[in-house]
Homo-oligomer: A and B are copies of this chain.
Amino acid sequence: MKSSIGKMFHMTIFGESHGEMIGVSIDGLPAGIKLDLAYMNAQLDLRKPKGKISTSRKESDAPHIISGYFNEHTTGTPLTILFENNNTKSKDYSETKNVMRPSHADYTANEKYMGYQDYRGGGHFSGRLTTPIVAAGAIAKQILASKGIQIGSHIRNIASIYDEAFDDETLLQQIDLLNNKYFPVLSEKTEAEMMTYMEQVASEGDSCGGVIETLVAGMPVGIGEPMFHSIESTLSQLLFSVPAIKGVEFGLGFEFMNHKGSELNDSFYYEGTSVKTKTNHNGGINGGISNGMPIRIKSVVKPTPSIFKHQDSINIETKENVNFQINGRHDPAIIHRARVVIDSVVAIGLLDLCAMRYGYLWMKEDK
């Protein structure tokens, strides 16, 4: 109930960073969907740390399906995917467990769970738990793609380095390009600048964040429920469950504050028999429901709180203020890896809303 979400595509995430296994159980898939496991693995690969700017934790991200799957198709009963945690015994946490890392969940989890939480590596609050979310998201993306609904995200900016903007004319090609890149930017020049910046930040033992911009093309009209299950409500609930996300906006978002209504209303018009809007300031959503234009979302990813500098904090055992430094290897940025997690939760949310609108059997129907 607490680590679960979804009305039709219902999933429960379980596990801890240094437990034996983590996983997800999905209840709500119809029988008869042929899963594209190569695609699932490719999506999981986008979440893995790689290259100069990432740590080298050797984790097995091989999905292991143990239920709800038979003869390469879903059976209609709960589909459970497990992931082993390989290096769970590699470290001694006795020294560090009482020092609360600033801006991590160490202190709040300790208070919430009264000291019984698995504190190793962030436990249930670790970014490791996004692995099963990506596996579930791969299934959701596969189903949506079979209906012509495409999701793509780029790093809009890291600090003051901005990528090229999405372009309505070439949107599907841009989405396709991004979905095949590990570092999701549209401009190669931007990529080089961002990499240089991140290496600089890494060399300082520091970290940085940025903004992920997500577009959804091919949305049918009329998806989203009133009130608490609008597209915005549904997606924001999922997006804020991704560690490090601290702000979410749709369409112009906070920029709406700087304009008058007459400048921003998206006028409808008929193009042949299909309805479009001349502008798309509302990000494809009116009254919480899709209007058929691309959905536009921006999510801010804060700098990772793990840095290689001395920080002040507290030791909850000795009840003393301390100054300490986090050991181990850490990433100066996780925004590029957060991309596929964001794509995944957007897919999961939209699939759930589509199934609420069309019925869950729609998931397996031919387009």
Q: Is A41 an interface residue (CB 8 A)?
A: no
Q: A67-B15, A286-B103 are in contact. Are A226 and B3 (CB under 8 A)?
A: yes
Q: Is A218 an interface residue (CB 8 A)?
A: no
How distant is A3 from chain B, measured CB to nearest CB, in Å? 5
Q: Could you list some 11 contacts between A and B, CB below 8 A?
A: A3-B226, A14-B68, A14-B78, A16-B67, A103-B264, A103-B266, A107-B268, A112-B221, A247-B248, A249-B249, A254-B298
The distance in angstroms between the C-alpha atoms of A335 and B309, with both chains bound, is 43
For window 283-318 of A, CB contacts with B under 8 Å fall at 283, 285-291, 298, 300-307, 309, 311-314
Task: Indicate how many identical chains form the complex.
Answer: 4
How distant is A14 from chain B, measured CB to nearest CB, in Å? 4
The distance in angstroms between the C-alpha atoms of A358 and B106, with both chains bound, is 20
Q: Is A7 an interface residue (CB 8 A)?
A: yes
The distance in angstroms between the C-alpha atoms of A32 and B221, with both chains bound, is 18
Which of B8, B20, B103, B249 touches A300 (beta carbons < 8 Å)?
B249
A321 pairs with B270, CB closer than 8 A: yes
Most buried by B among A112, A301, A305: A112
Closest residue on chain B to residue A243 by CB atoms: B287
- The 6 A-B pairs at the shortest CB distance, nearest first, are namely A359-B359, A105-B287, A247-B249, A207-B261, A108-B289, A261-B303
Residues on B with C-beta less than 8 A from A102 are 265-268, 277
A27 pairs with B15, CB closer than 8 A: no
Q: Is A70 an interface residue (CB 8 A)?
A: yes
Q: Is A262 an interface residue (CB 8 A)?
A: yes
The distance in angstroms between the C-alpha atoms of A264 and B75, with both chains bound, is 30
The distance in angstroms between the C-alpha atoms of A256 and B5, with both chains bound, is 27
A303 pairs with B256, CB closer than 8 A: yes
Residues on B with C-beta less than 8 A from A184 are none
Stretch at the interface among A45-53, A55-63, A157-165, A174-182: A157-165
Which of B73, B261, B273, B281 touches A116 (beta carbons < 8 Å)?
B73
The distance in angstroms between the C-alpha atoms of A297 and B358, with both chains bound, is 32
Stretch at the interface among A123-131, A141-149, A187-195, A336-344: A123-131
The distance in angstroms between the C-alpha atoms of A308 and B305, with both chains bound, is 49
Most buried by B among A31, A265, A362: A265
For window 249-274 of A, CB contacts with B under 8 Å fall at 249-254, 256-262, 264-270, 273
Mark contacts of A344-367 with chain B using CB atoms, 8 A cut-off: 1 yes-contact digit, 0 otherwise: 000000000000111111100000
B107 pairs with A291, CB closer than 8 A: yes
Mark contacts of A6-30 with chain B using CB atoms, 8 A cut-off: 1 yes-contact digit, 0 otherwise: 1110101111100111110101100
B282 pairs with A103, CB closer than 8 A: yes
Q: Is A172 an interface residue (CB 8 A)?
A: no
B201 pairs with A3, CB closer than 8 A: no
The distance in angstroms between the C-alpha atoms of A14 and B224, with both chains bound, is 17
How distant is A352 from chain B, measured CB to nearest CB, in Å? 11
Q: A102-B266, A303-B264 are in contact. Are A12 and B15 (CB under 8 A)?
A: no
A70 pairs with B117, CB closer than 8 A: yes
Most buried by B among A103, A104, A286: A103
A157 pairs with B300, CB closer than 8 A: no
Residues on B with C-beta less than 8 A from A258 are 159-160
B116 pairs with A74, CB closer than 8 A: yes
B108 pairs with A290, CB closer than 8 A: yes
Q: A28-B2, A224-B108, A265-B311 are in contact. Are A67 and B22 (CB under 8 A)?
A: yes
